[in-house]
Amino acid sequence: MTSSELWTRETADRYDAEETETSSAAVLGPTVDFLAELAGEGRALEFAIGTGRVGVPLRARGVPVVGIELSEPMAAVLRRKTDEETLPVVIGDMATTVVPGGFTLVYLVYNTLSNLLTQDEKV
């Protein structure tokens, strides 16, 4: 199985409905606060932005966010929340995709690093 096979349309459609410890307001709020502080006045790049669980509220806090997302279905769910102009997303592998411009913050959250399944993807 490859990383892209993990994030199907069915998975994407139910992703935000699954309540987890990391999606709770008690965790998400402080996470967004911390990332906003780190970003300061600059732009932020989120690897594996998914449905925008973190990127959308961070953008709402005034931080310009750009995302990289391997799964088109996950990005489609994000698009239901906000448009491309407000929060641009590049479809691609977070290990190899290059996004133009500078960023004061580049981040990935929670267990996202485990999305890289092979040794080649991780290095």
Identify whether the C-beta of residue 70 lies closer than 8 Å to the C-beta of residue 91: yes
Angle, vertex CA 81, rays to CA 35 and CA 106, nearest 5: 25
Chain segment 12-27, per-residue pLDDT in tens: 666 666 666 666 677 7
Distance CA 89, CA 18 (A): 23
pLDDT band for 1, please (50, 70, 90 cuts): very low
Identify whether the C-beta of residue 65 lies closer than 8 Å to the C-beta of residue 59: yes
Residue 68's beta-bridge partner residues? 47, 90
Task: Give the model's pLDDT for residue 30.
Answer: 94
Residue 17's nearest CA partner among 51, 59, 46, 65 is: 51
Question: Is the confidence at residue 69, as pLDDT, over 60?
Answer: yes
Chain segment 40-67, per-residue pLDDT in tens: 999 999 999 999 999 999 999 999 999 9
pLDDT band for 28, please (50, 70, 90 cuts): confident
Chain segment 72-105, per-residue pLDDT in tens: 999 999 999 999 999 999 999 888 899 999 999 9
Q: How far is CA 88 from CA 43, 53, 55, 65, 80, in A?
A: 12, 14, 10, 7, 13
Domains of the chain: 3-122 (3.40.50.150)
